[in-house]
Amino acid sequence: MLTLAGVGKRYPTGDRALSDIELTLPEGQVLALIGPSGAGKSTLIRCVNRLVEPTQGSIRLGDQELTTLSGAGLRRARRSMGMIFQEYALVDRLTVMENVLSGRLGYVGFWRSFLRRYPSDAVREAFRLLERVGLAHAIDKRADALSGGQRQRVGIARALLQSPRLLLVDEPTASLDPKTSRQIMRLIRELCAERGLAAIINIHDVALAQQFADRIVGLNAGRIVFDGAPGELTAEMLTTIYGEEEWDVRESADSEYEAPDAQRRAAAPAMRVAAS
């Protein structure tokens, strides 16, 4: 569904953020991007939806080449790519419902959204999504009155209101406590399964990546150095991705979550990254 071929990004300073990225993401697959800070994870995600302009290579979503689009064509393509941000990107003075409905901006235009004139079917779907992410009770709350986990759930609902084919998720758990982090990752995984969505998730927590992703891609210095199943992510491979470290290997069990391939995942060790 998504294909990156020879994708690179070099900044005007001469710094190279990505080098010759080759990646194919099939429909319905949840892929976790891991790697040290500065490895190029956020840059890769943002090159896909052109928030960052790649300097070389091809990015295709289905049969459409994204790197050549501009103006209205790019806006239409972005409708099919829902973005979930680390810092939530909510408008604090707006209500939960108003923030979710902003996910339809690509369809209704600025003035209709500014005047809160959304189609009735979009409003009904927003209600359904807020109920699904557990925020039906908070529809009229201002965004600045929410907890971090609740704010991230609003961001998820907003992205899904676009009716995307692909989710791009940038560090969804970076500001959350461990319990809420598992809940958010579980919710993203379940929603992808329910809707047949593919997802690329930039995440620092290796254990969460192993528990909830179908596939893990490791980046180091802008290059892919690992691409495989969670169970293939050994301590030696983590050293290749992150550099020398004392890796704590432990058995991972998330009793509240059972992915379609839970039996395979249950046998895989989880790696905890020591704080650096």
- Judged against a pLDDT cut of 90, whether residue 9 lies above it is answered with yes
Query: Is the CATH code 3.40.1110.10 the one for domain 1-62+199-276?
Result: no
Share of the chain above pLDDT 70, in %: 84
- Judged against a pLDDT cut of 60, whether residue 274 lies above it is answered with no
Token digits of residue 68: 């050549």
Q: Which segments within the chain are labelled E, that is strand?
A: 2-10, 16-25, 30-34, 56-61, 64-65, 81-84, 166-170, 198-202, 215-220, 223-228, 248-251, 269-272
**Per-residue pLDDT reduced to its tens digit, 202-258:** 999 999 999 999 999 999 999 999 999 999 999 999 999 998 776 654 444 444 444
Residue 46 C-alpha from the chain's centroid? 10
Token digits of residue 99: 């923030």
Q: How confident is the model at residue 175 (pLDDT cuts 50, 70, 90)?
A: confident
The per-residue DSSP string of 136-181 comes to: GGGTTSBGGGS-HHHHHHHHHHHHHHT--SEEEEE-TTTTS-HHHH
Cα separation of 161 and 33, whole Å? 24
- Judged against a pLDDT cut of 60, whether residue 125 lies above it is answered with yes
Domain ranges of the chain: 1-62+199-276
Cα separation of 159 and 168, whole Å? 9
Name the residue with tokens 């209205």.
Answer: 72
The mean pLDDT value of the chain amounts to 86
Specify the higher pLDDT residue, 271 or 120: 120
- Could you tell me the strand order of the sheet in which 56-61 lies? 16-25, 2-10, 56-61, 64-65
Q: 160, 238, 170, 166: which is closest to 33 by C-alpha?
A: 170
Token digits of residue 134: 């557990």
**Per-residue pLDDT reduced to its tens digit, 26-77:** 999 999 999 999 999 999 999 999 999 999 999 999 999 999 999 989 988 9
- For CA atoms 262, 265, 271, 275, give the dihedral sign: negative
Tell me the Cα Rg of the chain.
Answer: 19
